[in-house]
Amino acid sequence: MENEILKLKNVISEYEEIIEETHMQISVAKQRYSKDIDEMLDITESLEHKINMLETSKLKPYFARIDFKDKNEKLDECYIGKVGVSNNDNEIITVDWRAPISSLYYDSNLGECSYDSPDGKIDGELLLKRQYDIENGILNGYNDVDIVSQDEILKNYLDVNADTRLKNIVASIQGEQNKIIREKLEKNIVIQGCAGSGKTTVALHRIAYLVYNNRNKIKNKDYLIIGPNKFFVNYISSILPDLDVNGVKQYSFIELAKDFINEEFEVIDTPDNESTFYKTSFNYKKVIDKYIDDLLKQVIPDKDLILYDFTIINRNEILKKYNDITEYTCIKNKVEKTISLIEKEVERKKENLILRSNHYIDKLFNNETNEKIKKELVKKRVDLKNEIESNCHNILKTYFKIVNDKVINVYKNLLTNIDKYEQNETILNYFKRDLSLINKKKIEYEDLAALMYLKYKIDGANNYNNYKQVVIDEAQDYNEFVFYTLRVIFKNAFFSIFGDLAQSIYPYRSIEDWNLINDKVMNIEIEYLEKSYRTSIEIMNEANKINRYLDYREAIPVIRHGEVPKYINDTSNDNLLKLINSLKDEGYKTIAVISKNDKGSNEIYEYLKDKIEINNINSNSSEYKGGICTITSTLCKGLEFDAVIISNVSSFDFDNRNDMKLLYVSMTRALHKMYLLYDGKLNEILT
């Protein structure tokens, strides 16, 4: 123990020396680059970031140690931390958890093992695997895995409160999670993970891992995270800096759609109906493709490229050039490329074209007796020659009818003429309603994929070509059309898609089977996270009753026992207040009162707001700062709380699969304690 205490003291001292040296480097940079502000800012920002990471980790500089001896008898004694640090002599003080050798800590047992490095596979022997309990610069103890089981080590991390768990996760990443985190960048993956399996945590740590291991070839701004809503995006954004990840773009799907479409409109969420199912299907994509084909007929007019009745190139040749272009898929880029190809052809045939045009005009001139017309023909002869010599640049600009209208107006035109592409009367009636909404600048959520796809087909997505990795969380609420649209927009990116089909709460617009992505969008590999680390065994056993009823795979709870969830036949607000105060007295910090819908949540908040300190989280909320909150089943997805009170189990329709999914989502938010209130008789599914 004494040696380990001394080691920690020395490492903290080295961190402090590096911090001091880095402050001096900032002072030098400010003087040296005083006349080059941009260069100075780049250097000082990088150094300040280094100081910040060292300051935040110096009192807990590492959480584990591995001793690894390779085949050449070289011994590496690695202290693994959240950040990797070396001194001025390039001696490694701590190894970053994302480094290749660190995978031995997560994946390997003592004895023969190997890890993949940039130089290839490294074989050797793992001699020691040790985990430290360090807080505020003090070593409280350590465990070796041959003495304490991995489950016991993990349990220490699962017993803590919700507000600290995500920050400590690098020390407790499990083998199946680590495999996904360290999957290569150049691979499309779907992660089907049960509630509490760490999907969001794994997603964020995967970004952190990829940023670290590809830092010399991919910039942070070339990664993108898509979350279900602004509230969720803000929830995860606070975690990324702690993982040494800055500058990664984060969007909700609505924010991404608005940014891409780049027009002013309000997004509204309407009840699921047949129209929703249709507009999020591949059938609707086919309708848009047919509409684009009709637009093309307007873009390329039904006539040859002519000047003064002289045919420079016929329409069939123009159409062939356009259709032969495969490197672009949008009208704008294909037209620009077609113009370029025609100009090059004119350049190649310039002499012949001028000869032919002169011959054409001369023939007209010789057959003409009117002097005025003859003068005009002389001018036309010069104009034709000049136009051909400029590769027909001017007439090509007017020949193609580029779609310059706003995409919402183009979409309105589609809806106005939708009966040309769709004959179902019910669907047509829905589209009439949609048209009236769009005229008021209101767009239904289900129209976003169609609008984005239409925008892409017309204008392309050049501003999004830089992205190399797109991570989508809560992806079960998207459909094949959305995935297809994202695939074509982010054409240079690979996708990491995280979701749980058991938590798909929008039946008309959710994907039913991940294999549909394989069938219709892109090649993916499906991986599974089946262990639930969030909830106690007792809470997960209760939630699994819903999984069995829905005929889904049951989540596997691990390690941690707790109190059995309590059912109480009393949905009164007075009872709610009593339970909340009881939970506060027991020391729980984050407590959620979950209701099925906004109405129930708002009513409870109105009753409680003058009696206790409480937040009401709704669709307009931007962040959750902890404490007690009221929230709906829909919005609580992806979040976790120390304790949960489900305000009225009886409000859920047990014959409705979607309601059962909402109840399942609600039940799997609790880490330690859960109350389920009901009114009257409890449904047999839960008994």
Rg of the chain's alpha carbons, rounded to an integer? 32
**What is the total residue count of the chain?**
687
| Residue 500 and residue 199 in contact, taking contact as beta carbons nearer than 8 Å | yes
501 and 549 inside one domain: no
pTM across the whole model: 0.85
| 557 to 159, 169, 504, 642, 665: CA distances (angstroms) | 14, 18, 21, 17, 15
Regarding whether 462 and 316 lie in a shared domain, the answer is no
pLDDT attached to residue 311? 85
What are the tens digits of pLDDT across the range 406-422?
999 999 999 999 999 98
Does residue 157 register a pLDDT over 70? no
Q: Which two tokens stand for residue 234?
A: 């803000």
- Looking at 115, 148, 181, the residue that finishes a domain is 148
Burial of 345 (0-12, 13-18, 19+ CB in 10 A): middle
Axis-axis angle for helices 282-299, 480-489 (nearest 10): 40
pLDDT band at 351 (very low <50, low <70, confident <90, very high): confident
Both 284 and 246 in one domain: the answer is yes
Query: Which tens digit of pLDDT belongs to each residue from 352-387?
Result: 888 888 888 888 888 877 888 888 888 888 888 888
Residue 333 has pLDDT above 70, yes or no: yes
Last residue of a domain, one of 380, 399, 418: 399
Res. 163: pLDDT tops 80: no
pLDDT digits (tens, 9 = 90+) for 630-679: 999 988 988 889 999 999 999 998 888 889 999 999 999 999 999 999 99
Contact 23, 52 (CB under 8 A): no
pLDDT of the residue at 148: 39
Mean pLDDT of 281-302: 89
Statement: residue 154 has pLDDT above 60: no
Same domain, yes or no: 267 and 411:
yes
| Residue predicted with more confidence, 304 or 158 | 304
Whether the predicted pLDDT of 153 surpasses 60: no
Instruction: State the SS3 of 514-568.
Output: CHHHHHHCCCCEEEEECEECCCCHHHHHHHHHHHHHHCCCCCEECCCCCCCCEEE
Do residue 391 and residue 431 come from a single domain? no
Domain that holds residue 674: 538-686
How do residues 512-551 score in pLDDT, each as one tens digit?
A: 899 999 999 999 999 999 988 888 999 999 999 999 998 8
Domain presence at residue 489: yes
Q: What distance in Å separates the CA atoms of residue 380 and residue 362, rounded to the nearest whole number?
A: 11
In a domain, 606, yes or no: yes
Average pLDDT over residues 561-570: 95
- Residue 168 pLDDT: 52
pLDDT above 90 covers what percent of the chain?
57
Any bridge partners for residue 673, and if so which? Answer: 643
What is the band of 147 on the pLDDT scale with cuts at 50, 70, 90? very low
Q: So what's the pLDDT on residue 278?
A: 87
Q: For residues 249 and 467, give the distance between their C-alpha atoms in angstroms, rounded to a whole number.
A: 10
The answer to whether residue 159 sits within a structural domain is no
- Residue 309: per-residue pLDDT: 82
273 and 318 in a single domain? The answer is no
415 plus 366 within the same structural domain:
no
Mean pLDDT of all residues in the chain? 89
Identify whether 506 is part of a domain. yes
> Is residue 183 domain-resident?
no
Tokens 């109350």 identify what position? 675
Look up residue 280 and give its two tokens: 């999020």
pLDDT value at position 308? 80
Within a domain: residue 462? yes
Q: Is the pLDDT of residue 101 over 70?
A: yes
Question: For 601-616, how does the pLDDT look when each residue is reduced to its tens digit (9 = 90+)?
Answer: 999 999 999 999 999 9
* Claim to verify: residue 10 and residue 26 sit in the same structural domain: yes
CATH code at 553? Answer: 3.40.50.300
**Are 43 and 61 members of one domain?**
yes
Same domain, 562 and 517: no
Specify if 254 maps to a domain.
Answer: yes
Q: Quick one: 224 exposed, middle or buried, by C-beta within 10 A (0-12, 13-18, 19+)?
A: buried
> Percent of the chain, pLDDT > 70?
96
- Pairwise CA distance, residues 312 & 44, whole Å: 60
pLDDT digit string, tens, across residues 461-478: 989 999 999 999 999 999
Distance CA 332, CA 660 (A): 47
Helix (H), strand (E) at residue 374: helix 371-389
User: What is the domain count for the chain?
Assistant: 4
- The CA–CA distances, whole Å, from 444 to 57, 115, 360, 658 equal 46, 49, 57, 21
What is the reported pLDDT for 162? 58
Q: Are residues 256 and 230 in the same domain?
A: yes
Is a pLDDT exceeding 80 seen at residue 395?
A: yes
Asked whether residue 169 is assigned to any structural domain, the reply reads: no
Amino acid at residue number 89:
D
pLDDT at 440 exceeding the cut of 50: yes
- Which of 94, 118, 148 corresponds to the end of one domain? 148
Residues 564 and 674 in one domain: yes
